[in-house]
């Protein structure tokens, strides 16, 4: 959408609230004046508003805060002309004032509300003309004594982006009394709801249902059949839910919050306290801020494979929007997006081949990659380890990938080799914001960049690329931008990969612990020891616990299991609570749940669980 569809309704709500608040004062004023009416002045918006009596009864002078150019004055003027009873308005950027004329007594509160919706702040001037408020420069976030210089005007926070980090930050900043300008160049909602988490999990679930109809552990008693997959209808269902969630969780919230002004365009820094926004409808806006949050997300990486850029390859965005299931699909990549979509397309009918530069999940515990590779091959997904495409060509509707082991042909090619931060084009150097070698913005635990007035959160920063990390970082950034003091602790951050079986991890792997100088004691429990898995006739996978040697304190968990994502938060809480494996093994877990596997795995540190009764008390 190109603009906020209910701008007028939001403005009307603001006017209504302001008028209700001022109603007693207006009643007393009418009583004192005997319901007198004054003739409207005939002067235009660029001329004087009449004599002293007319100016006193039919005009209001406002001080306008946060204008940075003559264009700002024009925006304020247009906003004032939409307010009830206004006939003319003259806004002076040089003086920082607005003179408003109209029929009868104008309501200053309603005028201020109209200005606020336009993204500025209005104060009623007692004497006109008022002096232009001094421009506020950047202030140190810890300089609490500087707060009174705003003279009652709320802190202005600019947020670049509208995804998980941006929305969380905007709402928290408003909650803490700030005024927010949100800048978005594309679709509201960012990656997760539009082209990431939500559509991918819908497609994965549909593929899982198709797989179970084709094959399950109960086929001897329940007849299996080849499913008929109508990708067009599945896509429509998927997109309808995406649209619904974007509307409910992003668009409607923005429309209903008068303290958040929305600009549709692309932002870049002019300096450490100013943004220039190239508006989608044309022209530019200058936005001065007290604090700024960069939450621009990330985009798929395209590896420098000869010939690739000349072909119609897919990234995850195109794959999730495809109206067809290709007969053959080649996938370049070996991590989360690559494996999730590879299995989904295979289960919906594609013959899938994965080209892994090393092994699947090579950055994780080796047992994870081994388990998923075995599960994929059992389903007919071809996994080519230690294989790279040396050249890619496309002709007559077919991709030809040249590898060290020969040629690979497919109707479609999915490139899922990671995601890179969206930081180019922001002119970060103009604001003194540092990035690392990958282009990610360098931040501290408070989400503060090298410029103390500018923060960053989510995939554009040097943080793990998960939407829940982004949202948590955005919330904490907003608190810190509004003079709070909180940090984001990622020491017990759970992660889930939605393959089947799922992959779930939290805390240290053995290798990472050893790298950090921590001696470990670990145990691995295969799922044929977990009653829930036995009852499901699906014992693929394992649960591994990593403990600190000597103390027995739990410091990490890795799991490959159906619904592993549902058990990993329990492990995260155990690590956060500094529980030992003995503490974990002594807890009550409901029988015949997958999470009971954590208790059983903990008990293996001191017992042979094969010799325990079924409920492992």
Domain parsing of the chain, residue ranges = 7-124, 156-190+241-300+420-481, 308-417, 495-611
CATH number of 495-611, picked from 2.60.40.1530, 3.30.70.980, 3.30.230.80, 3.30.390.30: 3.30.390.30
CATH of the domain spanning 308-417: 3.50.50.60
Residue 159 CB neighbour total at 10 angstroms: 31
Q: What pLDDT, on the 0 to 100 scale, is given for residue 49? A: 36
* Phi, psi angles (nearest 5°) of residue 144: -70, -25
String of DSSP letters for 114-128? HHHHTT-EEEE-SSS
φ/ψ of residue 226, rounded to 5: -70, 120
The predicted structure's pLDDT at residue 68:
63
Could you give the residue ranges of the DSSP H alpha helices within 68-189? Answer: 70-80, 108-117, 164-175
What pLDDT, on a 0 to 100 scale, did the predictor assign at position 617? 66
Model pTM score: 0.77
Q: What span, in angstroms and rounded, lies between the C-alpha atoms of 93 and 119?
A: 15
Supply the pLDDT for residue 69.
63
Query: Which portions of the chain are predicted below pLDDT 50?
Result: 1-19, 21-57, 126-151
> What pLDDT is recorded for position 616?
59
Query: According to the model, what pLDDT value does residue 83 have?
Result: 82
Domain at 156-190+241-300+420-481: CATH code? 3.50.50.60
Q: Look-up: residue for tokens 């200053």? A: 108
| Residue 70 pLDDT | 66
Q: Which residues are catalytic?
A: 67, 69, 72, 120, 192, 197, 614-615
> 156-190+241-300+420-481: same fold as 7-124?
no
> Which residues, 6+ apart, have CB-to-CB distance to 413 below 8 Å?
311, 313, 314, 329, 330, 331, 332, 392, 399, 401
Q: What is the pLDDT of residue 8?
A: 40
- Domain boundaries 7-124, CATH class: alpha beta
Q: Which long-range contacts (CB under 8 A, 24 or more apart) does 249-253 make?
A: 249/167, 249/189, 249/193, 250/162, 250/167, 250/188, 250/189, 250/193, 251/1, 251/188, 251/189, 253/167, 253/171
In whole angstroms, what is the distance from residue 74 CA to residue 62 CA? 15
């Amino acid at each position: 959408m190109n603009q906020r569809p209910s701008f007028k309704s939001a403005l009307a709500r603001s006017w209504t609230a302001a008028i209700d608040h001022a109603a007693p004062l207006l009643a007393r004023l009418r009583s004192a004046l005997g319901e007198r009416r004054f003739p409207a002045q005939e002067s235009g918006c660029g001329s004087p508003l009449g004599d002293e009596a007319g100016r006193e009864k039919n005009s209001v002078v406002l001080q306008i805060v946060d204008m940075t150019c003559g264009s700002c004055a024009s925006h304020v003027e247009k906003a004032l002309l939409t307010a009830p009873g206004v006939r003319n308005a003259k806004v002076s950027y040089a003086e920082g004032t607005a003179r408003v004329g109209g029929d009868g007594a104008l309501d200053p509160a309603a005028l201020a509300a109209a200005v606020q919706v336009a993204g500025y702040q209005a104060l009623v001037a007692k004497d006109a003309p008022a002096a232009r408020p001094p421009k506020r420069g950047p202030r140190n976030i810890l300089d609490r004594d500087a707060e009174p210089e705003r003279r009652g005007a709320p802190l202005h926070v600019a947020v670049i982006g509208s995804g998980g980090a941006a929305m969380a930050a905007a709402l928290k900043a408003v909650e803490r009394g700030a005024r927010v300008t949100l800048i978005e160049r594309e679709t509201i909602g960012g990656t997760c709801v539009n082209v990431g988490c939500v559509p991918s999990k819908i497609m994965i679930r549909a593929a899982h249902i198709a797989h179970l109809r084709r094959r399950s552990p109960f086929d001897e008693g329940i007849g299996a059949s080849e499913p008929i997959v109508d990708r067009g209808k599945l896509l429509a269902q998927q997109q309808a839910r995406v649209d619904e969630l974007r509307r409910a969780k992003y668009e409607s919230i923005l429309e209903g919050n008068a303290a958040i002004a929305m600009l549709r365009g692309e932002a870049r820094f002019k300096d450490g306290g100013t943004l220039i926004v190239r508006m989608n409808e044309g022209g530019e806006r200058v936005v001065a801020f007290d604090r700024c949050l960069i939450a621009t997300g990330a985009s798929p990486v395209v590896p420098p494979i000869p010939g690739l850029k000349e072909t119609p390859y897919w990234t995850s965005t195109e794959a999730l929007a495809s109206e067809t299931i290709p007969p053959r699909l080649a996938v370049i990549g070996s991590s989360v997006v690559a494996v999730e979509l590879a299995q989904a397309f295979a289960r919906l009918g594609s013959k899938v081949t994965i080209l892994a530069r090393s092994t699947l999940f090579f950055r994780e515990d080796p047992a994870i990659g081994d388990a998923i590779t075995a599960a994929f091959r059992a389903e007919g997904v071809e996994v080519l380890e230690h294989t790279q495409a040396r050249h890619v060509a496309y002709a007559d509707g077919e991709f030809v990938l040249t590898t060290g082991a020969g040629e690979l042909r497919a109707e479609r090619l999915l490139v899922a080799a990671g995601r890179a931060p969206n930081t180019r084009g922001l002119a970060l150097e103009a604001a003194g914001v540092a990035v690392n070698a990958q282009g990610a913005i360098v931040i501290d635990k408070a989400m503060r960049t090298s410029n103390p007035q500018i923060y960053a959160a989510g995939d554009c920063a040097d943080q793990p690329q998960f939407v829940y990390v982004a949202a948590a970082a955005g919330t904490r950034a907003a608190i810190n931008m509004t003079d709070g003091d909180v940090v984001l602790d990622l020491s017990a951050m759970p992660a889930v990969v939605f393959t089947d079986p799922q992959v779930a991890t939290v805390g240290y792997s053995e290798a990472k612990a050893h790298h950090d100088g921590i001696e470990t004691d670990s145990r691995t429990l295969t799922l044929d020891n977990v009653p829930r898995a036995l009852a499901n006739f699906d014992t693929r996978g394992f649960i591994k616990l990593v403990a600190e040697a000597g103390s027995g304190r739990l410091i990490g968990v890795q799991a490959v299991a159906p619904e592993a994502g549902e058990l990993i938060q329990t492990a995260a809480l155990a690590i956060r609570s500094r529980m030992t494996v003995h503490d974990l093994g002594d807890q009550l877990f409901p029988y015949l749940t997958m999470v009971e596997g954590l208790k059983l795995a903990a008990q293996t540190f001191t017992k042979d669980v094969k010799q325990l009764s079924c409920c492992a008390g």
